A and B are shown apart, each in its own frame.
Chain A
Amino acid sequence: MILAPIIATRALRKIYPGSKPGRSLFGGGLALPGAPGMTPRSPTDVVALEGLDLEVAAGEFFGLLGPNGAGKTTTLDILTTRTRPTSGTALIDGADVVRESVRVKQRIGVVPQRPNPDRSLTAIENLLFHAAYFGISKSVALTRARELLAMLGIATRETARVPELSGGQQQRLMIARALIHQPSVLFLDEPTVGLDPQARLALWEILRKLHAEGRTIVMTTHYMEEADRLCDRLAIVDHGRLLAIDTPANLKARAPGGTLLELTLDGDAGGCAGPAGHLPGVLRVETSRELLRVFARRGEEVIAQLIKIVDQAGRTVTNIHLAPPSLETLFISLTGRKLE
């Protein structure tokens, strides 16, 4: 339990009604209004969040890690007032995201998954108008905007119209926009998706710097490495539930011991589980259709024996994947599936 957390959610749930989200006038069908607190459960309903409890301390770099569809973006959308929870509460710096959304918006900066700058404006106008929405005077805004553009390495693009900016530059502009009103919490939704490796590293540097300045950062990602390298603490989510929450180091320590060996066979792997479990040094064996998953103390030594077992079962190995103890092996052991 964190003393006076800057972000706190309690039993947060979000259920999207089965019909496609976003009503449309012609033939789209009107969504029926659901009573608040009610739990609509039709077979087509999509449960995005199933009772999420989270706490984030001020100044923390917090990561939400999970595969696509895990509920990461929904969590972020709720925390940033852009989606209403079906039930449960979420507080940012003591302000309720539903009842006190204005106070929440005052305290947060948001970098969306897909850059959505105001395309009718230039780069710097994007920043100046956004600052104006927060009541910041033009002279202060101009100074801050220039500083941010310089810090993010896009100072030369100041007067460029949005369509003239590359994807990476637009992403940086989004970060500048999220920071111009000096929010106490910065939210980033999959900030490095679609960036080339160089731009990704540059963005990591920027985030580290912001974090070093004492800002609270909440980031969703489905890149293990990114979560591991940047975050103070991580929450692993899947199917709208919190599976684990801790520092990357502690999470890695919780990963089932040894190396993960994943063998893909040309058919059902069920028959291989028994013999594989009896091999020396093997800690755990799982199978799922043609997948044989083995956690072993010294993975390299078991490979040859595993291939032999597969052979004896009348199957052929089509692919082998080895992973040292890591967030990835923990994730697979928690969810039974890979991240990407």
Chain B
Amino acid sequence: MTAASPDVVAPGRVFLALLRRDIHVARRELAAFLVRTTLQPILFVVVFGYLLPRMGFVQKGYTSALLPGILGISLALSSIQSVALPMVTDFGWTREIEDRLLAPVPVYLIAIEKVVAGVLQGFIAALFVLPIARLIMGPIESLSIQHFGTVFLVIVLGSASFSALGLLLGTMISPQQIGLMFGVIIAPMIFFGCAYYPWRGLDAVPVMKYAVLINPLVYVAEGMRGALTPDLPHMPLRYVTGALALLTTLFLTLGMRSFEKRAIG
């Protein structure tokens, strides 16, 4: 830097300002955000965690397998949507993100900030859904909150992978294709994400058991099971964390590359 040139701001400071903006906007839109991202999992809890057990259609212990999955879905919907949806309109239509692209930091840092903001929003959604689900389902067999650290770790890694996926989707999808994103990517991800059934249950269909391993929700749901209902069958935590770290890295690398391409034509 030459003496005549204005000082370049510390990237960390810019990063925090970007994050503060996203938190400011999220706080203003909190109610809408929570309805958009947690209503679906809560409705599912009502049907599968409350109505069906009462009708006797599902076994009593089903709620124990369901709760961790529901948290995973809340995390997926909130993190993916909070990153991808604004980005799709930003890049595809309004170019509102431009004032942040002009901030004096490398463009990839703006992409990372979006992912961090998505992680925070995933956290809020999960924390919001957990007590509600517990309330609707009533007492859950073998539920334990002793492994708080593990819950925390799975939420962080899980929402990081979903937010990074949101970054990738948000930079690759045009505004007209948003509906398609839900139908073709998010819906299958939720249904084949071992959220409504434990992964072990797929022993019955081996092909599917291995095919679903590309889905981050599988690891989040299984990790949550390991943390919340450790007595029930679940995937070992080291596989869960390893796979989530790997998927996060993969989505983040591709997402950042795609973000840069969209940001700088």
Measured CB to CB, the residues of A under 8 A from B are: 16, 21-26, 28, 77, 80-84, 93-95, 101-103, 105-108, 110, 112, 114, 116-121, 125-126, 129-130, 132-135, 177, 184
Contacts and interface: CB of A to CB of B under 8 A. Distances in A.
A116 B99 contact: yes
Interface of B is mostly: helix
Interface residues of B, number: 46
B231 interface: no
Contacts of B265: 16, 21, 77, 82-84
Most chain A CB within a 10 A radius of its CB, from B5, B98, B99, B262: B99
Given A25-B177, A28-B174, A121-B25, A103 B8 contact: yes
Interface in B157-174: 169, 172-174
B104 A106 contact: yes
B91 interface: yes
B26 to A, nearest CB: 9
B259 to A, nearest CB: 12
Nearest to B11: A102
A116 B169 contact: no
Most chain A CB within a 10 A radius of its CB, from B1, B21, B262, B263: B21
A24 B264 CA distance: 16
Contacts of B101: 82
Interface of B: 1-2, 5-6, 8-10, 13-14, 17-18, 20-21, 24-25, 28-29, 91-92, 94-96, 98-107, 169, 172-174, 177, 180-181, 184, 258, 261-265
A110 B106 contact: no
Contacts of A108: 102
A24 B174 contact: yes
Given A83-B264, A118-B21, 15 more contacts: A23-B258, A23-B261, A24-B173, A26-B177, A82-B264, A93-B5, A94-B2, A102-B104, A105-B104, A106-B8, A108-B102, A117-B96, A120-B28, A129-B21, A134-B103
7 contacts: A23-B258, A24-B172, A24-B174, A94-B2, A107-B5, A112-B98, A116-B99
Contacts of B172: 23-25
A135 B184 contact: no
Contacts of B92: 22
Nearest to A181: B104
Given A118-B99, A134-B9, A24 B104 contact: no
Nearest to A80: B102
Contacts of A112: 95, 98
Contacts of A16: 265
Contacts of A84: 264-265
Given A28-B174, A133-B99, A116 B94 contact: yes
Contacts of B99: 116-118, 126, 129-130, 133, 177
Nearest to B29: A120
Given A26-B177, A103-B5, A116 B264 contact: no
Contact of A107 (B6, B261, B264): B6
Contacts of A105: 102-104
Contacts of A81: 102, 264
B25 A114 contact: no
B30 to A, nearest CB: 13
A106 B106 CA distance: 11
A94 B4 CA distance: 11
Contact of B17 (A28, A103, A107, A129): A129
Contacts of A107: 5-6
A126 B24 CA distance: 12
A75 to B, nearest CB: 13
Nearest to A95: B5
B6 A133 contact: no
